[in-house]
Amino acid sequence: MFSFNKNPVGIFDSGVGGLTVFDQVKKVLPGESVFYLGDTARVPYGSKSVDVVKHYSLTNVNLLMALGVKAVVVACNTASAAALSFLQERFPNFNIIGVIEPVVEYLLTRPELKRIGIIGTNTTILSGAYQKALIRGNKDLDISAKACPLFVHLVEEGLFKGEITEMAIDMYLSEMKKNPPDALVLGCTHYPMLRSVISDYFGGKVEILDTAFYTAKKLAGILSENDMVNCVSNENDRFFVTDDPNSFKATAELFLGYKVGNVFHI
């Protein structure tokens, strides 16, 4: 029998950056309502320990489940790196997906991409989550990884290009540029906002991969396999934040490029 599920999809991030994932989910699954949770009171996660990120992530999943979501996307790369398997073990009968596996699965379908660069927060890069997942799939890959912690702050200041941003890119990526990868994974929610300036830095010769798109496609596949797609299109997006809704709203509009309503403090 045909069935569907009208409940919203839950997405959580440490703050506003996960809106890059929200944006792709809305493009790939326009009929779904999304409840987005930004843990703005405790951002950043990228400099916190794995145990702390696990604890925050568990609170976030519990909150979203209490709001009635049918699946959770861990939009934060740091939380995906530090806490995804912990969350999946904790809730074995609930669909929880992260942002690392989908782009890794895609990369493994492209054997011509032999040299892979990964950039992300300190905790993401130190966890080795991307590196381990790639090597599990293909032990011959040549992987270089670099934490670029300043990028988050540049993006939150709206510095998507310009001299300061270019200096930061050069500071972090000059080593990688000497021997550039075939593909570079933007392993942080904020980095897609720097996509074109990073691509220009490598002279347009490196394939830049954004985890958000592959994550949205993976979510679409999981909802459809489980007869959970929303076929009645009752779009009703809401944003929940753990700190001031107004400052979230301002940065959200910068990220999404349109007016954002329905922002609630939780």
Q: Which is nearer to ligand DGL, 57 or 124 (CB)?
A: 124
Shorter beta-carbon distance to ligand DGL: residue 14 or 165 = 14
Q: What are phi and psi of 131, to 5 degrees?
A: -60, -45
For position 14 contacting ligand DGL by CB under 6 A, the verdict is: yes
Residue 181's contacts (CB-CB under 8 Å, 6 or more residues apart) are: 115, 116, 117, 142, 144, 206
Query: Is residue 242 involved in binding ligand DGL (CB under 6 A)?
Result: no
Q: Dig out the tokens for 219 from the structure.
A: 């979510």
- Residue number with the shortest CB distance to ligand DGL? 46
Residues sharing a CB contact under 8 Å with residue 165, sequence separation 6 or more, in sequence order? 154, 159, 194, 197
Amino acid letter for position 248: F
* Burial class (CB within 10 angstroms; exposed 0-12, middle 13-18, buried 19+) of 195: middle
* CA dist., res. 145 & res. 131, Å (int): 8
Q: Cβ of residue 51: shortest distance to ligand DGL, in angstroms?
A: 16
Q: Can 76 be counted among the known catalytic residues?
A: yes
* Residue position matching structure tokens 């950043």: 44
> Is 148 a residue of the active site?
no
Cβ burial, residue 111 (10 Å; 0-12/13-18/19+):
exposed
- For position 188 contacting ligand DGL by CB under 6 A, the verdict is yes
Site residues (CB under 6 A) for ligand DGL, limited to 56-75: none
Number of residues counted as binding ligand DGL (CB under 6 A): 18
Element (H, E) at 232: none
Of 7-15, 110-118, 126-134, 245-253, the segment contacting ligand DGL by CB under 6 A is 7-15
Name which of residues 118 to 137 contact ligand DGL (CB under 6 A): 120-121, 124
Sole window of 43-51, 59-67, 238-246, 248-256 interacting with ligand DGL (rule: CB under 6 A): 43-51
By CB under 6 A, residue 43 contacts ligand DGL: yes
Say which amino acid occupies 12. Answer: F
Stretch that binds ligand DGL, among 9-17, 21-29, 64-72, 158-166 (CB under 6 A): 9-17
> Min. distance of Cβ 112 from ligand DGL in angstroms?
27
Catalytic residues, by residue number, are: 76, 188
Site residues (vs ligand DGL, CB under 6 A): 13-15, 17, 43-46, 76-78, 120-121, 124, 152, 188-190
